[in-house]
Structure 1
Amino acid sequence: MSTFQLEFVSPEKLLLSRPVEMAVIPAAEGEMGVLPGHSPMIVALRGGVITVTEAGQVSERLFVAGGFAEVTPSRVTILADEATPVAQLSKADAERRVAKCEKAYDEAAGEATPEKRDAAMARLLAARAMLAAAEAA
């Protein structure tokens, strides 16, 4: 099967750089499957799990809290705000993050600027996606 180059970068380090068959990414508009030859685009990422397929099997599952992905026919570059292998997620940590984000959202609800509310909601949704991934792991 044909492949494309996947580059996955977090603020701390390069997490992955190798040819893969397919990647499913949590685009802001919904889950997006990427195969070799995909149309070029840049998409925002929401909190969710990136699934990488190699040799016909899922080889990696990484949680991202957000970021961007640049897709070309031969390469996908993911710039993640935060990335953690799903196997390393802690349900207790995710529950604490959800509680913290819910409190921050409640405080932002009284703010006059919609941008602050939207940012707080995005963090809350990412925390809930982290909890769902931790529970499913």
Structure 2
Amino acid sequence: MSGTFAFELVTPERVLVSGAMEAVLVPGTEGDFMVMAGHAPVVSTLRPGILEATAPGGKAQRLFVRSGLAEATAESMTVLAEHAVLLDGLAGDDLAKLVSDSERLVADAADETERAYAQNALARLRAALPSAR
């Protein structure tokens, strides 16, 4: 199924991303999943991880999301994120704070399942950082 769909990623502060996308890779609590135009309706909670939104022409935006909710239909997708940060173009201090906050999520995990999600998200964040390339 080719084509685009309307995408919005919203935080409590503002609309962070809005536009037509070809695909969005989502870190769902039950596993990562890809949404494309024509996707069956789905609602999922988010776990900490990297969300990647690919616009027409292949330009991708990578964001670290802490938690939230994603809803997709055949024509659109909305992500309501508790906290989200665009990874591309972050300064060194911002990256250090993001990693520090993620390390705190690991330390403050209520149980082993939550700790495993947080550790996985931290590993993905570290791998996605520009300095890791």
TM tier, smaller: 0.7 to 0.9
Give the count of matched residue pairs: 127
Gaps of 5+ in 1: 106-115
Equivalent pair of 2:50/2:121 in contact (CA under 8 Å): no
**Partner residue in 2 for 1:117:** 111
Equivalent pair of 1:94/1:131 in contact (CA under 8 Å): no
Gaps of 5+ in 2: none
Matched, 1:96 2:100: yes
Equivalent pair of 2:65/2:85 in contact (CA under 8 Å): yes
**Partner residue in 2 for 1:30:** 31
Cα separation, 1, equivalents of 2:96 and 2:73: 38
**Partner residue in 2 for 1:84:** 85
Cα separation, 1, equivalents of 2:55 and 2:105: 35
**Partner residue in 2 for 1:51:** 52
Matched, 1:130 2:119: no
More displaced 10-residue stretch of structure 1: 61-70 or 93-102 = 93-102
Cα separation, 2, equivalents of 1:17 and 1:95: 26
Say if 1:58 and 1:120 are closer, same or farther in 2 by CA, change over 3 A.
same
Say if 1:125 and 1:81 are closer, same or farther in 2 by CA, change over 3 A.
farther
Give TM-score, length-normalised by structure 1.
0.75
Q: Please state how far the C-alpha of 1:56 moved relative to its aligned partner.
A: 3.1
Say if 1:136 and 1:25 are closer, same or farther in 2 by CA, change over 3 A.
farther
Question: What amino acid is the match of 2:18?
Answer: S
Cα separation, 1, equivalents of 2:57 and 2:85: 23
More helix per residue: 1 or 2?
1
More displaced 10-residue stretch of structure 1: 82-91 or 71-80 = 82-91
Name segments (4+ residues, structure 1) moved above 2 Å: 89-105, 116-137
Structure number with larger C-alpha Rg: 1
- The percentage of counterpart residues that share the same residue type is 30
Give TM-score, length-normalised by structure 2.
0.77
Cα separation, 1, equivalents of 2:87 and 2:16: 13
Root-mean-square deviation (Å): 2.5
Instruction: Name the SS of the counterpart of 2:40 in structure 1.
Output: coil
Instruction: Name the SS of the counterpart of 2:78 in structure 1.
Output: strand
Aligned ranges 1:14-25 → 2 under 5 Å: 14-25=15-26
